[in-house]
Amino acid sequence: MSLWGGRFEEAPDELLWKYTVDTSDRRMLLDDLTGSLAHVTMLERVGVLTGEDGTALRNGLEQIMAEARDEKFIFLESDEDVHSAVERRLGELIGDVAGKLHTARSRNDQVALDLRLYMRRVAADRIGQLESFALTLADAAERVGETVVATYTHMQQGQAVPLAHHLLAYAWMLQRDRSRFGDLLQRLDESPLGAGAGGGTSLEIDPEVSASLLGFAAVFDNSIDAVASRDLVAEYVFVAAQAAVTLSRLAEDLLLWATTEYGWASYLDRHTTGSSAMPQKKNPDMAELARGRAATLVGDVTSILTLQKGLPMAYNRDLQEDKRLLFHADDTLAGTLAALQAMIAGAAFHPPEPSSWVGALDLAEALTSRGVPFREAHHIVGRLVVELSASAKTLAEADLISLRAVDARFESGDLDRILPGDSVRHRTGRGGGSHESVAIQIAKIRQSLT
C-alpha cells in the first residue's frame, strides 16, 4: 500500500512498483522511528496533537522499535520505503490514529532527517575504528623496534629510516581521515525535520523541540535546502573514499612487503588464502581486495556528485539513489578497516638491510656540515658513487682512501654515519626518520587516542 492513493484511478503497475521501490533504506528503520518519536512528542507539546493521540502514537512507535531491535519487524513487498513500512505497521497496531503521524511532515524532510541520524551514528563507528587502527599501527611500530629499512622514492631506495617511521606515516594519515569524519559530524548537527515537503507547513509546529529531542544543536534555516541538499551525503562518501584510498596505499605496501623480492613481512595463515593450483602459494587477498574495493568507493564519489549536479530545486526522486552509495561506501570502508587492521596486528616484519647506497645523502651532509655548499657536496658524492660502482663496490666497502681520492675534505668520522643503522642514529630533525622521533610519535598517537 502506498501513502498516496487518493488522486489515482488505478493501482500502481507492478512494473512501476518494482522500478521505484527502495529496500536499501530498511537499515534506517531505527533512525526513522527515532525521528518519528521526536516528531510526535513535538506535535503534542505544541498542541497540534492531543495528549491522547500522542500517547497512542508513541506507544505504537515504541512497540515497532522493540520489534526492530529484536529483528522481528516484517517488511512487506507492498512497502514503498522504510517510512511507508513504519506507517503501515503503525496502522496495524493502533488503527486510524496512525494517520496523524505524518502531520506537518513529508517523507522529504523525514528521509533527510533519517540520513543525518544514520550518518551521525555510523560516522561515530568509523571514528572508533580509525582510532583503533592507528593504535594498532603504533603497537606495530613499537614491536619492530629499531629495524631499519629504506624509504623509496620513484620505487628506488632513498634514505635509511626506522620501519616504525614508515608504519607511523599511515597512522598519521588515518588520524586525518578520522578528523574528517569529526568535521563532518559538526555539519551534520542540524535538524531538517519540520521542512515538510520543501516549503514548510501552515501548522504551528516547533522544529526546535524535535531538534533538541534528537540531540541536534541547530535547526534548518531554509526548508528547500533542508529537503533537497545532499552535499553532506557526498561529503560522507568522499571522507569514506579518502580513508579507503589511504588504506589502499597501505594495502599496496602490505602486498609488496610479502613478495619474495621484498621479503619485509609475512602474515598469519588465517589472514591469507591459498591457490587452487600452486601448492606453495600464500596470498594476501585481503590487501588486494582492500585495493580493489577502494576503486569502488572512488566510483561512489563520482556517482554521488553526478547525482546532484543537474537537479533543480527541490526534492527529486533521483535522490533516493544517494542511500545505496552511502551504504556501499560506508560498509566497504568498515570491512576494509577491520581486514587490514587484523593483518597488521598479526604481521611479522623481517625486512633485509637496505643497500648501503642509502647513506649517500648522509655523506653529502657530512661535507655540508663543514661548510661545503650542498650542491657541490652532492656532486662530490655523485662522483664517489661512479668511482665505487666502476670497481664493483658499494658504499659499505668505501674507506677513507677511496673517499679522499674524490675529495680531500672527507674525514674518517664520515664513514660512521653512512651505514643504514648509523645513518638513522645521526638523524636529528623533528619528525624525521630517527628512533627518537618514532618514540615521540608513538607517545603522541597513544596520548591523543587513549
275 assigned to active site: yes
Nearer CB in complex with ligand ARG: 211/319: 319
**108 near ligand ARG, judged by CB under 6 A:** yes
What would the grid cell of residue 325 be?
552509495
- Only one residue has cell 662522483, namely 383
- Among 275, 369, 389, 448, the one annotated catalytic: 275
Strand residues in 76-222 grouped as ranges (E): 148-153, 156-162, 190-191, 218-219
CA–CA separation, 227 and 368 (whole Å) = 63
Nearer CB in complex with ligand ARG: 115/144: 115
CA–CA separation, 42 and 206 (whole Å) = 7
- Cα angle vertex 373, ends 372, 374, to 5°? 110
CB of 434 to ligand ARG, least distance (A): 53
Give the per-residue contact string, 348-387, with ligand ARG (x = CB under 6 A; - = no): ----------------------------------------
Sort strands 190-191 and 218-219 into parallel, antiparallel or unpaired.
parallel
**148 near ligand ARG, judged by CB under 6 A:** no
CB of 110 to ligand ARG, least distance (A): 7
CB 30 within 8 A of CB 61: no
- Cα angle vertex 341, ends 336, 343, to 5°? 100
CB of 228 to ligand ARG, least distance (A): 11
CA–CA separation, 437 and 109 (whole Å) = 50
**22 near ligand ARG, judged by CB under 6 A:** yes
**364 preceded by cis ω (within 30°)?**
no
Nearer CB in complex with ligand ARG: 326/381: 326
CB 42 within 8 A of CB 206: yes
78 assigned to active site: no
Nearer CB in complex with ligand ARG: 25/362: 25
**79 near ligand ARG, judged by CB under 6 A:** no
Which parts of 260-319 interact with ligand ARG (CB under 6 A)? Answer: 315, 317, 319
CB of 3 to ligand ARG, least distance (A): 9
Which residues have a Cβ under 8 Å from the Cβ of 83 and sit 6 or more positions away? 3, 32, 107, 110, 111, 114
CB 321 within 8 A of CB 274: no
Q: Which amino acid is at 270?
A: R
Q: Helix or strand or coil: residue 159?
A: strand
Stretch that binds ligand ARG, among 41-49, 55-63, 107-115, 124-132 (CB under 6 A): 107-115
Q: What is the dihedral of CA 350, 353, 355, 361, to 10 degrees?
A: 110
- Cα angle vertex 243, ends 238, 247, to 5°? 140
CB of 82 to ligand ARG, least distance (A): 8
Of 412, 360, 399, the C-alpha closest to 382 is 360
Stretch that binds ligand ARG, among 106-114, 159-167, 386-394, 400-408 (CB under 6 A): 106-114
CB of 25 to ligand ARG, least distance (A): 6
CA–CA separation, 218 and 190 (whole Å) = 4
Of the candidates 79, 81, 235, 362, which one interacts with ligand ARG according to CB under 6 A? Answer: 81
Length of the chain: 450
CB of 49 to ligand ARG, least distance (A): 23
Burial of 36 (0-12, 13-18, 19+ CB in 10 A): buried
Of the candidates 41, 212, 222, 320, which one interacts with ligand ARG according to CB under 6 A? Answer: 320
Give the per-residue contact string, 403-422, with ligand ARG (x = CB under 6 A; - = no): --------------------
Give the per-residue contact string, 109-128, with ligand ARG (x = CB under 6 A; - = no): --x-----------------
Of the candidates 107, 165, 293, 328, which one interacts with ligand ARG according to CB under 6 A? Answer: 107
CB of 113 to ligand ARG, least distance (A): 11
Active site residues per annotation: 154, 275
Residues binding ligand ARG (CB under 6 A): 22, 25, 81, 107-108, 111, 315, 317, 319-320
